[in-house]
Amino acid sequence: MNKAALGRLAKEVRKDYDLSEDVPFDPFHWSDENGIPFISLRDFTADEAAMRRFLEEKPHVWSAALLRDGRRSLVIYNPERSGERIRSDLTHEVAHFEAEHDPSPAWTGADSSCGGTSKAQEKEAEELAGALLVPQEKAKIAVIKGIAPLVVANRYQVSIEMATWRMKMSGGYAILERSRRKWGKTG
């Protein structure tokens, strides 16, 4: 799917859950509504070696995973991340589900990062999750009005990095720059 189609899908998903664009997306509510549990790795396994590797030695290499077994699905996630990052990670997995991505074998990248779908599907899930978390129009308006990323992050319960990325991707900066050039304003 292209970016525009993913933006439309994000709007549809938010509408399905009666979320205006001013309300943060709650992946835990989505989980409850869809019967797809989110389970911390601590609650998923008692394997000491796995917990040591993924929660202590290399917590940065793994965030979350959507697992499917026939018709059942669940998401396991890394509880060592910040609350904002967990929301983002879980929404990324929601995005795989909403985009109807087919699961594929897990892979490990050269940088030791883990993944379970194609790189194209990962990009789609990244874009869709971002649009679910911070709607494009709201990110664009924030840029145009000069609202700081911290304010956007707080409003949507995401990290400053996510808010900044969504604001950059919104097209708001291009609109603002055209307006400044047209009216001869700087800064």
Per-residue pLDDT of the chain (187 residues; tens, 9 = 90+): 899 999 999 999 999 999 999 999 999 999 999 999 999 988 988 888 888 888 888 878 888 988 887 788 899 999 988 999 999 999 999 999 999 987 665 544 555 455 555 788 999 999 999 999 999 999 999 999 999 999 999 999 999 999 999 999 998 888 878 887 888 765 5
Same domain for 157 and 95: no
Predicted TM-score of the model (pTM):
0.85
Same domain for 173 and 108: no
Q: Which amino acid is at 172?
A: G
In the chain, the number of structural domains is 2
Same domain for 105 and 17: yes
Distance of alpha carbon 77 from alpha carbon 90, whole angstroms: 7
Domain residues for the domain of 184 are 134-187
With contact defined as beta carbons under 8 Å apart, do 9 and 99 qualify?
yes
Same domain for 119 and 69: yes
Give the CATH number of the domain where residue 35 resides.
1.10.10
For 96, half-sphere exposure in the C-beta direction (CA atoms, 13 angstrom radius) is 25
